[in-house]
Structures are given as structure tokens and as C-alpha cells.
A and B are shown apart, each in its own frame.
Chain A
């Protein structure tokens, strides 16, 4: 458990350092994810404790977005003034994106292709 957390944090740290060093606008954790992925490819398997820690963390993924979401309170005036175009934009765009992406992918790989 502790070793796994250390692995995750270490990958993130190296990711942040790479981003800082190369000055690219990609977030450190995404680079960290790619590093861990490469590590797993080289190793050829997922160590059981790492798998458990990851499942535990990802099972609570939604919780981790709550603090940023509460930030809505700092923009109540702007949101109040322009709530109609903003909510129309968010709702239509999000649903449209799900529809377009899902339909296209299903069209291309076929409905019945069970992986």
C-alpha cells in the first residue's frame, strides 16, 4: 500500500520535473501516467499491491473533484448574469460530444465487437 503510493507520487514528481524542464503545457500527472504505463510495459505485469491501491484511489475519483467544484461560489455573479448562454453551451456541447464520439466509435468498431 505504502510502496504503491510512493510509486504513484514518484511518477507524478518525475512527470512534473519533465514538464518544468521541457517547458511544455502538459500537466505533470499526465506525463506521470505515461511513465508508469511504460514501467508496467517493461515489467510485463501489475504488482498486486499497486493494483489494489489504484483501484482504491480510482473508486473514489469523483470525491477528488468536489473541492474544485465548490469554487463555483467565487463566480456566482458572472454565472448569474450569463447563466442562460453558459448553461446552454455546457449542456448542448457536452451531450453533443458524447453523442458524436460514441456514435462514431461504435460505427467504426462495430456494435457487436466485444473486446
Chain B
């Protein structure tokens, strides 16, 4: 009996199917749990499924590279999904272009706030320069942030992790901040969510309606663009 289980395990753990299935199942379960518990923000489905999957991988002694062989199919869809953001963007274009100055000023201020406050607080806590530049682009969507971090001497894999954590934080605590500060305008809500917490924030902003979703998606794209341009210059000043 134990032999059969062992053989089965050897077979399953060698195919990408197992970890692909686990990823989707854990997420479905986490989302069901999240809805069941009255959508409490700290029960963010991404957070729950990441915790669950890490626990399983650690317990079964599975390295991340083996897990990723299966999970890469889900990860891959980030590309087409990013392209698909053109659709809410197009739908809301007439609204977006009504406030070009407000949009640009708010976005650039938010983008600078994200980078400078992250560097400043971590620096106070004695974090190394390499870790500092790895967390600086934390509010930018994963593929862009990893590219920025790598080109400035950071650790791209650490960047990926802090980007996801930032996204989860923004998606789960963002609505609470918006509420406390009486930010009710859907354009402002979407812009704030997308600037601070990229795609995961946008995933949450989709539930705030079409306007918030479009502004969030736009903010995510523009923040990536802005950070790509100003962070190398800023980092040059800070380290000199």
C-alpha cells in the first residue's frame, strides 16, 4: 500500500499537472472561504492561497522551481491579461481624458510617494542597499518591477515577493483607507488602488465598478512607465 502511494507521488510530483491543479484549487478554495467569511479584507484570496501553497510545498519538501514548472501556466496568463486591460481603458477613455492634469499630478505624486517612503522607512531600519533597491519598485506590476530591480543591481526574486505582498496589502487594507479618508469618487479610488498596488489592487478595484477598474488599470500601467523612467535617476542621486 505504502509502495503504491510512493509510486503515485513520484509520478504526480514529476508532472506539471499536480502543481497547476493545486494552484487553481487552492485559489478557488480561498475565494470560497473569503466570500463565506463575509469578505473580510485580511482574508484576501491571494494571501490565503499563497500561505496554503507554501505550507504544502514546505511540508512535502518541494522546491519552488518544481512548483513553478506547473504554476507557470497560470503565471503566463499575466501577459495576455495585461494586454486585456486595454478594453476597460478604451471603455472609459472619454472619462479618463476629461481630467488629464489631475490624473498626471496625482499619479506622479503617488508614484514618488510609493518609492521614497518605502526606501526611507527601510533605510531607517538598516536594510542593505541591495534589498532597498529590490523593494523600491514594490508598487509596480511584477514583470516591470523585476526588470527595474535587476537593472539597478537588486534581487528580482525578492522584488517579485514584495510586489505581491504590496498588492495584497493594498487590496486588503486599501478599501479601509479609502473609507476612513472619505474618498468616494470612483476615479480617485481606482487611481489610488492601481498606483499603490498594481494588478492585485486592480483585481480588487474591479469590484468597485467599471470606472474604478479602468482608472486602476490605467494607473498600474502609467505607474510602471513613470517608475521605470524616474527610479534609475533617483537611485543615482540617493546612492551618491
Q: Interface of A with B (CB < 8 Å)? A: 5, 8-9, 11-12, 15, 25-30, 32-37, 40-41, 46, 50-51, 53-55, 57-59, 61-75, 78-79, 82, 84-86, 88-106, 108-111, 113-115
A10 closest partner in B (C-beta): B83
The distance from the CB of B26 to the nearest CB of chain A, in whole angstroms, is 7
Is the CB of B12 closer than 8 A to any CB of chain A? no
The distance from the CB of B51 to the nearest CB of chain A, in whole angstroms, is 9
Is the CB of B154 closer than 8 A to any CB of chain A? no
Is the CB of B135 closer than 8 A to any CB of chain A? yes
The distance from the CB of A37 to the nearest CB of chain B, in whole angstroms, is 4
Is the CB of B80 closer than 8 A to any CB of chain A? yes
- Asked whether B109 lies within 8 Å of A85 as measured between CB atoms, the reply is no
| A65, A67, A91, A108: the one within 8 Å of B167 (CB) | A65
Is the CB of B78 closer than 8 A to any CB of chain A? yes
The distance from the CB of A56 to the nearest CB of chain B, in whole angstroms, is 9
- Asked whether A29 lies within 8 Å of B79 as measured between CB atoms, the reply is yes
5 more A-B contacts (CB under 8 A) besides A63-B24, A98-B192, A104-B110? A51-B87, A67-B75, A89-B122, A89-B135, A110-B185
In order of increasing CB-CB distance, the 7 nearest A-B pairs are A85-B125, A101-B110, A102-B192, A67-B71, A108-B102, A29-B82, A36-B86
The distance from the CB of B154 to the nearest CB of chain A, in whole angstroms, is 12
The distance from the CB of A8 to the nearest CB of chain B, in whole angstroms, is 4
A63 to B177, CA, bound (A): 24
B116 closest partner in A (C-beta): A93
**Residues of A contacting B183 with CB < 8 Å?**
102-103, 106
- Asked whether B50 lies within 8 Å of A90 as measured between CB atoms, the reply is no
Q: How many A-B residue pairs have CB under 8 A?
A: 328
The distance from the CB of B236 to the nearest CB of chain A, in whole angstroms, is 15
Instruction: Using A82-B127, A94-B170 as known contacts, say yes or no to A57 and B53 having CB atoms under 8 A apart.
Output: no
The distance from the CB of B37 to the nearest CB of chain A, in whole angstroms, is 16
Q: Is the contact region of chain B dominated by helix, strand, or loop, or is it mixed?
A: helix
- Asked whether A66 lies within 8 Å of B27 as measured between CB atoms, the reply is yes
Is the CB of B165 closer than 8 A to any CB of chain A? yes
- Asked whether B87 lies within 8 Å of A54 as measured between CB atoms, the reply is yes
The distance from the CB of B139 to the nearest CB of chain A, in whole angstroms, is 6
**Residues of B contacting A106 with CB < 8 Å?**
183-185, 188
- Asked whether B83 lies within 8 Å of A101 as measured between CB atoms, the reply is no
- Asked whether A98 lies within 8 Å of B165 as measured between CB atoms, the reply is no
Is the CB of B84 closer than 8 A to any CB of chain A? yes
- Asked whether B80 lies within 8 Å of A73 as measured between CB atoms, the reply is no
B158 closest partner in A (C-beta): A75
- Asked whether B46 lies within 8 Å of A97 as measured between CB atoms, the reply is no
Is the CB of B15 closer than 8 A to any CB of chain A? no
Instruction: Using A34-B86, A67-B68 as known contacts, say yes or no to A61 and B127 having CB atoms under 8 A apart.
Output: no
- Asked whether B164 lies within 8 Å of A89 as measured between CB atoms, the reply is no
- Asked whether A71 lies within 8 Å of B160 as measured between CB atoms, the reply is yes
A67 to B161, CA, bound (A): 10
**Residues of A contacting B18 with CB < 8 Å?**
none
Instruction: Using A30-B225, A66-B49 as known contacts, say yes or no to A40 and B139 having CB atoms under 8 A apart.
Output: no
A107 to B130, CA, bound (A): 37
| B45, B158, B174, B188: the one within 8 Å of A78 (CB) | B158
